[in-house]
Structure 1
Amino acid sequence: MHNPLINHTCKAFQSAFQSEPEHFFLSPGRINILGEHVDYNDGFVLPAAIDKYICFAVKKKQDTETCTLVAIDIEESFSFNINEQQSPVEKAWANYLLGVVEAIQKNGKTIGGLQVAFSSTIPMGSGLSSSAALECGFAYILNALFDLQLSKKEIALIGQKAEHTFVGVQCGIMDQFATVFGKENKVMILDCNSLEHRYYDARLEGYRLVLFDSCVKHTHLTSGYNDRRKDVEQGKQIIRSHYPEMTNFRDVTEEILIELKKEMGEVVYRRCLYLVKEIRRVGEAVQALSENRPEDLGHLMTETHTGLSKEYEVSCNEIDFLVEETLTEEGVLGARMMGGGFGGCSINLLREDQADRISKTIEKKYREAFGIQMKVYNVNISEGIKEYTANAFII
């Protein structure tokens, strides 16, 4: 299944380094069924790894202190000394990897020289978390090749720290956790405070998860993301000033928010209201999955989009159009924005026998409305990061 990507990455490695790679690793993107923007807000999320990957071709170099990275898809490379203290550089993509090295160095671990080439089938900027796949995939590689004895949890946290310190996005842990801990045909409910997690069968017989990529990414993603964090932190402080025992949003009720609305102000109130309702929806979605009630799951997805668009305000005209038009079609159980926002993908729960027709219809409507060719991704729920050799995973 993965051979085209592996073959492409292998050939690019051979061309870049005039030698053969010794290892291949596949690091998946992720979807989030429900729980958007609550991973950094004390909540529960419902993610899964998917069969879109970054493939890394790798070779250890015993006689050098240099690590050379080749980003195949954008035809760029970057080299650095593994024994020097790392700092952010102008090449944005390299910072995800340098941040990983710095986090490992601060853990007192040592790595050696390396040649790495990587290519991806995860669409960039589409909300499928190519950044977490890049960070955590690289951390996983360093752990495996240099016997760093990091746990999966530590690998996920290193990926998150790299994004915080070297990229400047104060992301939660969900993306990294899903990339590392994903299981085939399973969704996980993750407690973003304790990092405890449980798996549930993704029983969607007769239905399919399909992503509609708007092919837009508005430039205020990072600033908007960090602004939302400030808003909800302000709301949390106001809540604690009145209810000191409430240490996180999962303890808060809508009634408490209504009581404090005037003090919060309209914007902060809406941000907090979305979070309180979304945390509740995740619990209801787990029940729907457990009891094989896809219609209820779809309804919750649609409710989430309304909250993301109107309360948390991280959607955009293109994504709102995709969701609204999709919901008018027969055979649609639910649709919503997915990812950080301001573009990217919608995730849609569709009847399997109607999915192709719906996709073509929405594709046409979107092109007529915005002049943009939408992309369609059928996704399957997959394993987390793995080494790959001779058509088999090494676990």
Structure 2
Amino acid sequence: MNAILIQKTTDFFEKTFGSKPERVVLSPGRINIIGEHIDYNDGYVLPAAIDKIICFAFEKSNSNTSKIIAIDLDDSFEIEMNSSMELTDNVWTNYIRGVIHQLKLKGFEFEGVNCVFSSNIPTGSGLSSSAALECGFLFGMNELFDLNIKPVDIALMGQSAEHWVGINCGIMDQFSSVMGKEDKVIKIDCRTLEYTYHDANFTDYSLILFDSNVKHSLMTSAYNERRQQCEEGIATIKKNFPKITSFRDCTENQVISLKDKMSKDVFKRSLFAVKEIKRVALACEALDNGDIPALGKLMFETHEGLSKDYEVSCAELDMIVDTLKKEEAVVGARLMGGGFGGCTINLIKKGEEERIKSQLAGLYFDTFGIELKIYDVKISNGTSLYTA
């Protein structure tokens, strides 16, 4: 599948610019196995890069002008690299402008490029196509102009570019897109950016994403509200337990002891954060022991917490997880990402995938009148140069 995408991108480049690209870059989307909504709560996350990618073809333009073409959108724009970067109404171009802005802020010297890109990352499904776009473009600039930017700094600059666009994301998306390794998940400490790799030995299981194909409009306002509620929760905890600096230092019992000092919602959000931070550590243990059913159990628990305590699920996602929970062949399922729509991430025993896909898609359509989208994914390498 990726070979076809690479061919399509390089052919388009040659046809458009009359030359072979100097660099071809592959930048992946990501999944998160567990550790949801705790990247901004000083927690740990457990993401991985996947085999759904954006393919970029680059050459120097030998001028100060860049021409960037998004093949899938049938759209392009030109930009003077020494002009000041401003946001536009054409959203996809802002991620590129944000990257150029970061390079200029940091004092790097570079010129214009010709660049085309194409993707097989499903947009709007929570697989972080924007992080792949930022990090892939940055990686290409780094390679073309010998900027010597370290991989971790590519991730951080990608995050800053997304902040510039106006999305206050944590570091997980860009970090996993750049730093991913085949058959490994990355445990990232969101406070220190320390990270460790853990084997994702899913030999007997398939990783399948079921895309609910819904996006409820609550997403942005609810996300900001959850962040505020968590800040309020940790402030109450610190006031009563001065030695505690964040949710990661806190026990469930300490949160429970403060139930009367928090609003109902703040209490539920705080309890979820503490439990989810603990689940990431337990998930790493399960992976290290090759105990995939134990990991799956934790995934089900995370969904329950996201649905009941963090309240970021929706009827469609709950129906998918509740249905799968009854299947012996499904060892784990949960909503992945911000919530209110998007995908569930599911671990399914090999040999049972097609039956479960077919049954669930039928039941989902009968219940909601919506087509279920299904993506098979494998854990793959982070952003890299493609060499034929």
TM bracket (short chain): over 0.9
What letter is aligned with 1:55?
C
Deviation, structure 1 residue 264: 2.1
Deviation, structure 1 residue 115: 1.2
What letter is aligned with 1:47?
P
What letter is aligned with 1:42?
D
Deviation, structure 1 residue 97: 1.5
Deviation, structure 1 residue 269: 1.3
- Please, what TM-score do these two structures have when normalized by structure 2? 0.97
Give the unaligned 5+ runs of structure 1. Answer: 391-395
Asked whether the 8 Å contact 1:169–1:222 carries over to 2, the reply is no
Q: Provide Cα deviations, 1:349-372, integer angstroms capped at 9, x if missing partner.
A: 111111111111111111111122
Rounded Cα–Cα distance in structure 1 between residues aligned with 2:259 and 2:19: 63
Q: Provide Cα deviations, 1:206-233, integer angstroms capped at 9, x if missing partner.
A: 1111111112222332232222212211
Partner of 1:60: 60
Q: Provide Cα deviations, 1:326-346, integer angstroms capped at 9, x if missing partner.
A: 112231111100112111110
- Deviates most, 184-193 or 259-268: 259-268
Partner of 1:138: 137
Partner of 2:299: 301
Rounded Cα–Cα distance in structure 2 between residues aligned with 1:18 and 1:339: 41
Deviation, structure 1 residue 158: 0.6
Partner of 1:223: 221
Q: Provide Cα deviations, 1:66-120, integer angstroms capped at 9, x if missing partner.
A: 1222111111112221112212111111111111111121111122111111111
Asked whether the 8 Å contact 2:23–2:144 carries over to 1, the reply is no
Residues 8-157 of structure 1: matches in 2 within 5 Å?
8-62=8-62, 64-157=63-156
Identity, % of aligned positions: 51
Cα 1:94/1:244, change in 2 over 3 Å = farther
Deviation, structure 1 residue 15: 4.5
Deviation, structure 1 residue 373: 1.6
Asked whether the 8 Å contact 1:43–1:192 carries over to 2, the reply is yes
Partner of 1:393: none
Partner of 1:355: 353
Q: Name the SS of the counterpart of 1:353 in structure 2.
A: coil
Rounded Cα–Cα distance in structure 1 between residues aligned with 2:70 and 2:266: 40
Rounded Cα–Cα distance in structure 2 between residues aligned with 1:50 and 1:140: 17
Deviation, structure 1 residue 17: 3.8
- Deviates most, 306-315 or 280-289: 306-315
Residues 198-277 of structure 1: matches in 2 within 5 Å?
198-277=196-275
Q: Provide Cα deviations, 1:236-284, integer angstroms capped at 9, x if missing partner.
A: 2222222232111100111221222233201111111111000000111
Deviation, structure 1 residue 27: 0.3
Residues 272-351 of structure 1: matches in 2 within 5 Å?
272-351=270-349
Q: Name the SS of the counterpart of 1:40 in structure 2.
A: helix
Q: Name the SS of the counterpart of 2:385 in structure 1.
A: strand
Asked whether the 8 Å contact 2:44–2:189 carries over to 1, the reply is yes
Rounded Cα–Cα distance in structure 2 between residues aligned with 1:369 and 1:110: 56
Deviation, structure 1 residue 19: 4.2
What letter is aligned with 1:111?
F
Q: Name the SS of the counterpart of 2:335 in structure 1.
A: strand
- Deviates most, 254-263 or 95-104: 254-263
Q: Name the SS of the counterpart of 1:378 in structure 2.
A: strand
Rounded Cα–Cα distance in structure 2 between residues aligned with 1:371 and 1:210: 21
> Is residue 164 from structure 1 mapped to residue 163 from structure 2 by the alignment?
yes
**TM superposition outliers: structure 1 runs of 4+ over 6 Å:** none
What letter is aligned with 1:112?
E
Q: Name the SS of the counterpart of 1:188 in structure 2.
A: strand
Rounded Cα–Cα distance in structure 2 between residues aligned with 1:136 and 1:352: 33
What letter is aligned with 2:323?
E
Rounded Cα–Cα distance in structure 2 between residues aligned with 1:109 and 1:147: 10
Equivalent pairs counted in the alignment come to 388
Q: Provide Cα deviations, 1:27-71, integer angstroms capped at 9, x if missing partner.
A: 001111110111121111111111000111111111x21122211
Partner of 1:176: 174
Deviation, structure 1 residue 146: 1.3
Asked whether the 8 Å contact 1:169–1:226 carries over to 2, the reply is no
Give the unaligned 5+ runs of structure 2. Answer: none
Asked whether the 8 Å contact 2:68–2:76 carries over to 1, the reply is yes
Rounded Cα–Cα distance in structure 2 between residues aligned with 1:59 and 1:255: 58
Q: Name the SS of the counterpart of 2:242 in structure 1.
A: coil
Asked whether the 8 Å contact 2:59–2:144 carries over to 1, the reply is no
What letter is aligned with 2:190?
C
Rounded Cα–Cα distance in structure 2 between residues aligned with 1:355 and 1:211: 11
Cα 1:322/1:184, change in 2 over 3 Å = same
